[in-house]
A and B are shown apart, each in its own frame.
Chain A
Amino acid sequence: MVNKLIKEDTKMFLTGNEVLAYAANSAEAEFMYGYPITPQNEIMHTWCKLLPKTGAGFLQTEDEISAGFSTIGGILAGKRAFTATAGPGNVIMQDAQSMAEMMRIPFVCAVMQRGGPSTATVIYAQQETRLTCYGGNGEGFRIVYSTAGHQDLYDYMIKAFNTAWKYKFPTYVLADGYQGKMREPVMLYDPASRGITMVPTEKALLADGEIGVDRKSAHMRNTYNMEEELMEVLDSYQVDYDKMAEDVAEWEEYKADDAEILVIAHGIVARSARTAIDELREKGIKAGLYRPITIRPLAVKPLREAVSRAKHLLFTESANGQLAQMVLEKIYGLTTPYSTLFKMGVGVTGDDIVQKVENIVKEGV
């Protein structure tokens, strides 16, 4: 058991990376495995600084491959363990993430996106959206929360542990270097004070009871002999995934009810969009926001309803349409026209969006 540091509502002025470390502690996380990569480093810096008070564990591994796989080891041992990574680290951690997906391991990871491909830039992008949702040699049986600020980071990091342990799919908090490095006020709280109970962990290895007396030995595998045998397993995962999606999928709408121009954005870009929408409304343009919070799975029904109501869509991302691609698939058959504002690896400001929407109103694109 770890000591929780936040016992009552505490307003703090923190960087997002610090918030994530506090959130993991509030979620009673017991172990972090990590490897340095910018812009997520301060998650483990904070976690390590707090260790004497929390009594939790930490291992600095030799690379993200090890961070991913040793996190799996910690989880199999029954600990609420997690890791964090970014960019090229997220790429090589896919090896472990696909094992977690196949073996239904409640893997929790904070991804603080940076620019790509390759080493690229170290602070900001939304270019790990597709990778985080669908990386690995599988089908993307994952749950991805895309946060838009520090309160989100705190709330969804706590939630990620419960989602992972309840549904046994790898679960991610997808943020970025801006959120990780930026400092803003955030309300930290004890989850119990909000009626949140942490889902108990289970030991997959060395569970209680004696082998041969109380239980059989556990034999966990990820290799199958027959194609049909594999398909049967994956079909059952798909059924579980679809069922889970109904409970887990989250979205946010902002002035979307009567919006003629609907901005579709996730993460911190959605936050820029909110300021743009206020400005546009003042100018008499009926703009609104649809923000998927879980970008995997997407909440399809409300998405299609919001898109149906609008006259024009604007997809905007700090990537070349990674979210748009996933959304367009889900709104197949609807005929609402769309425009795009994609800035690969660069922040999208409120001004960018205002200008783009004004162009759409004036010129129709």
Chain B
Amino acid sequence: MAELLNLPPNLPKSQNAEVGASKFCPGCGHGITLKSLGNAIDELDIKQKTVFGCDIGCSLLSWNYMDLDTVQTHHGRTTPVIYGVTRANPEAIGIAYMGDGGGLAIGAQHLVNASVRGERLLIIVVNNTNYGMTGGQMSPTTMPGQKTETTPYGRDCSVTGEPAKAAEMVAAIANKSKSYVARSTVSNPMKLKQTFVKALKNVENGGFSFVEVLSICPLNWRTNNVDTFARLQQMEEYFEVKEFLAPESV
């Protein structure tokens, strides 16, 4: 039994084993997302040519989480840093990792233009329907009626507009034959990994990829395990989980 307890954790090779305990809050969806991403990178054996960029917000805690060359950027600015890298180094596989605030609010212009230009990188937007790091404010993807610190009586869509649907938007403006666009969820890590595999394969093939990951934030949601996954299920109904664009080559 003692030997069993000494087994090293089953980490992807592209995850940084030296990082120690995760800095993410208990129950956070980033851990599942990053492990799935790590497994996808391992499967494709692209660790040595991958550049990982992380945004500010909760995603900044991934700055040393992966055993990948990593750069932490500014809030909303991960996409331009990473396409700056991949424009200059055509061999590099770029990953820009951010939350829904970084992707759809402060960095939205970069998401739009990277999609339109077909930049050769994978943009991952981890959507937990709020700004987690700053204490749980409304974000572009906050659900109708959802209580946050800046919508304490629930999101009133007549005032704030409807939640932004990132994958639909990107699919509408990205090149149809060269782009991989999908929405996945942390409720199904195996499927999430397969989504990342396809997305990264598409980048390897010279395409643009976008994956929105529906994720969980029990701390700011103030939910227990049961309620957390119940809410994730509601999100999965509101934000359709599927591939929006998938080139035949992946």
Residues of A bordering B, CB below 8 Å: 30-31, 33, 57, 59, 61-63, 65-66, 68-74, 76-79, 81, 95-96, 99, 204-207, 210-212, 217-223
Contacts and interface: CB of A to CB of B under 8 A. Distances in A.
A217 B87 contact: no
A87 B113 CA distance: 23
B92 A206 contact: yes
Contact of A219 (B70, B77, B112): B70
B83 A99 contact: no
10 nearest A-B pairs in the assembled complex, by CB-CB distance: A73-B84, A70-B84, A69-B80, A74-B88, A62-B113, A77-B88, A66-B80, A73-B85, A77-B89, A219-B64
A30 B88 contact: yes
A170 B77 CA distance: 18
B187 to A, nearest CB: 30
A110 to B, nearest CB: 18
A72 B84 CA distance: 7
B51 interface: yes
B132 to A, nearest CB: 15
Given A81-B88, A221-B64, A70 B69 contact: no
B219 interface: no
B84 A77 contact: yes
B49 interface: yes
B87 A74 contact: yes
B228 interface: no
A297 to B, nearest CB: 26
Task: Classify chain B's interface size.
Answer: 35 or more
Given A31-B88, A70-B81, A62 B73 contact: no
B106 to A, nearest CB: 10
21 contacts: A31-B87, A33-B87, A62-B110, A68-B80, A70-B80, A73-B81, A74-B84, A77-B85, A77-B88, A79-B88, A79-B89, A95-B77, A96-B74, A206-B49, A206-B89, A211-B67, A217-B69, A217-B70, A219-B64, A221-B63, A222-B72
B84 A71 contact: yes
Contacts of A63: 109
Contacts of B83: 59, 70, 73
Contacts of B89: 77-79, 206
Contacts of B85: 73-74, 76-77, 205
A86 B138 CA distance: 35
Contact of A69 (B48, B70, B84): B84
B155 interface: no
A12 B82 CA distance: 38
Contacts, number: 125
A223 B81 contact: no
Interface in B31-82: 47-49, 51, 56, 60, 63-64, 66-74, 77, 80-82
B16 interface: yes
B84 A220 contact: no
B69 A69 contact: no
A211 B87 contact: no
A217 B16 contact: yes
A69 B80 CA distance: 6
B102 to A, nearest CB: 13
B87 A223 contact: no
A298 to B, nearest CB: 29
A312 to B, nearest CB: 46
Given A65-B80, A217-B68, A223-B56, 13 more contacts: A30-B88, A62-B112, A63-B109, A66-B109, A70-B84, A73-B83, A77-B84, A77-B88, A95-B74, A211-B48, A217-B16, A221-B63, A221-B64
Contacts of B74: 69, 95-96, 99, 222
